[in-house]
Structure 1
Amino acid sequence: MSGAVLAAVLCAALMHAGWNAMVKARGDAFLSTVTVAASAGILCALALPFLPQPAQASWPFILASSLTQVLYYALLMETYREGDISHAYPLMRGCAPLIVAVLGLPFTGERLAALQWLAIGLICGGVLTMVAAVRGTALSARRTTLLALATACVIAAYTLIDGIGVRKSGAPAAYTLWIFLLTALGVLLLARRRRGELLPFVRRHPVLLGGGAMTVGSYGVALWAMTQAPVATVAALRETSILFTTAIALLVLRERVGPLRLLGAALIACGAASMRLA
């Protein structure tokens, strides 16, 4: 991997961590999430006319993935409503590769390699460390753990759907942008009861419009990097977003990040990277 590709992937990881932190920092996780998703959808709608369109066989997967990602955003809203991002983000992003690997076994017939078993051990250790960090604390912290793990399951679900659908599309870029666009429409439907609050909220927090560019940009940069370097290496390096998010939570959002939570985030990040490389 060249230095330029390495820098690009790290930038993509930072962008992903950044838009999540922006959602958490604005105070209203619901409207923040809607703003990010909607602005991403607008960008994709502008780009789609200039791209080759996905094959017909991929459209059921596009629709299934979009519905699943609407659920992802709904869970994200609830998770960030009360939970710390330094608690939720490592669980959400780190456990998803583990779930994909385990759920994919019946379909692929593959056996887990030694590095995958190591990755499972690291992720499970990190999750248990996170649970230990919130043991005996407020009910909201335990609720955050459950919501984050549920979100990880949803991330794993759309990852498996897209793993099949994008191969059928013949147009990976347009496939991805259609998902962003349809997901944005679904998220706006979720916000219909608060539609009168949305525009005033965006005027107060215009920086969130950049969150939409960051989520699309993060994915686009990662896709480009996968054409320049081994896919597994790029995917593993993207897991540094867990460490970036923990640093942002500690240094910018001023969350109380104790040693157990730091250890848990580090174990999950290492495990997720190992799973990608296996």
Structure 2
Amino acid sequence: MTLTVMAAVLFAAVLHSAWNAIAKAIPDRLASSTMIAVAYLVSGVAGSIVFGVPSGPSWPFVFASAALQTCYLILLTTSYKHGDFSQVYPLARGLAVLLVTAVATTFLAEKLSPWQLAGVAVVAGSLLSLALAGKRRAPSNRKGTIFAVLTGASIAAYTLVDGVGVRLSGDPLAYISWLFLLQGLLIPCVCWRLAAERRTFAKRVVRYWKPGFIGGLVSMLAYGIVVWAQSLAPLALVSALRETSVLLAGIIGAVFFNERFSRVRLALTVVAVAGIAAIQLG
């Protein structure tokens, strides 16, 4: 992994934390998800015009990823309904790092040095430790934990699908554009279907259109960078660096939302930085 790719993925992690903060500030998650998808659709249409169509072999991966990321959205919102944020988010992201690493090194013939494997393990361990720390502060909820695990599995699944698909596409930007276009069509339909009050759903979407649309643009840029990085670097390393967004979210919360940045989170952040250094040194 070159220093440029590493810096880009870490920047994507910052953006990922930012759009999650925006989404958190919107009380209606289905409305915010819909507006995020609208941003995907607009950008995807524009990108497909500019960058054209990806190569034929990548199309099954585009469709599969769009479906998986829609499932991810449903599982994520369900996890937050049943579980505490401080447990669900780091558990899902940490588990995704471990699953991506296991599959990529076992079935996709990706080779990592001992230092890189240690770095991935340290980053994933830091994220999972955050989930355990959150469990001490909040009552355990079995449903929340189950859905968090399923969410982590879905993250790993679409990460691996995109990692293979973008390398078959011939043009990462074309692949990314069509992926967002399909999500922009699919996610609003699913959100409307899941809405308890469908008659007022459109009004709620309009009510939160500005922060939702901005969050969508930031989210699109964040994941677009990640998919581009996956075409150039091992999936396990990109996944580990990307999921440091969980730790960065704590910093954003402390700086912008006056949330408590505990000593435990500070210590785990330092450990994660050490893991990132090990990944680069490897």
Which TM-score band (shorter chain)? 0.7 to 0.9
Identical-pair percentage: 35
Alignment of 1:154-193 (within 5 A): 154-193=154-193
Distance 1:202 1:272, change over 3 A: farther
CA contact (8 A) 2:39 2:217 kept: yes
Alignment of 1:20-169 (within 5 A): 20-81=20-81, 83=83, 85-109=85-109, 113-119=113-119, 121-122=121-122, 123-124=124-125, 126-128=127-129, 130-135=131-136, 137-140=138-141, 143-169=143-169
* SS across alignment from 1:147: helix
Distance 1:6 1:170, change over 3 A: closer
Alignment deviations for residues 253-272 of structure 1 (CA, whole Å, 9 cap, x no partner): 45555444554565456547
Structure 1 residue ranges without an equivalent (≥5): none
Counterpart CA distance in 2 for 1:127 and 1:21 is 20
Deviation at 1:155, TM superposition (A): 1.3
CA contact (8 A) 2:254 2:261 kept: yes
CA contact (8 A) 2:94 2:127 kept: no
CA contact (8 A) 1:126 1:266 kept: no
Alignment deviations for residues 30-79 of structure 1 (CA, whole Å, 9 cap, x no partner): 22222212322222112212212111221111111111111111122223
Distance 1:224 1:196, change over 3 A: same
Distance 1:137 1:212, change over 3 A: closer
Alignment of 1:247-266 (within 5 A): 247-255=251-259, 258-264=262-268
Counterpart CA distance in 2 for 1:2 and 1:135 is 37
What is the aligned counterpart of 1:241 among 245, 263, 277? Answer: 245
CA contact (8 A) 1:62 1:165 kept: yes
Q: What do you get for the CA RMSD once the two structures are aligned?
A: 3.6
TM-score of the aligned structures, taking structure 2 as reference length: 0.78
CA contact (8 A) 1:98 1:272 kept: no
Structure 2 residue ranges without an equivalent (≥5): none
Alignment of 1:191-206 (within 5 A): 191-193=191-193, 194=195, 195-205=198-208, 206=210
CA contact (8 A) 1:90 1:268 kept: no
TM-score of the aligned structures, taking structure 1 as reference length: 0.79
CA contact (8 A) 1:237 1:273 kept: no
What is the aligned counterpart of 2:214 among 203, 210, 217? Answer: 210
Aligned positions, number: 274
The letter of the residue matching 1:137 is: A
* SS across alignment from 2:200: helix
CA contact (8 A) 1:57 1:169 kept: yes
* SS across alignment from 1:191: helix
Counterpart CA distance in 2 for 1:101 and 1:113 is 12
Counterpart CA distance in 2 for 1:58 and 1:31 is 31
Counterpart CA distance in 1 for 2:71 and 2:188 is 12
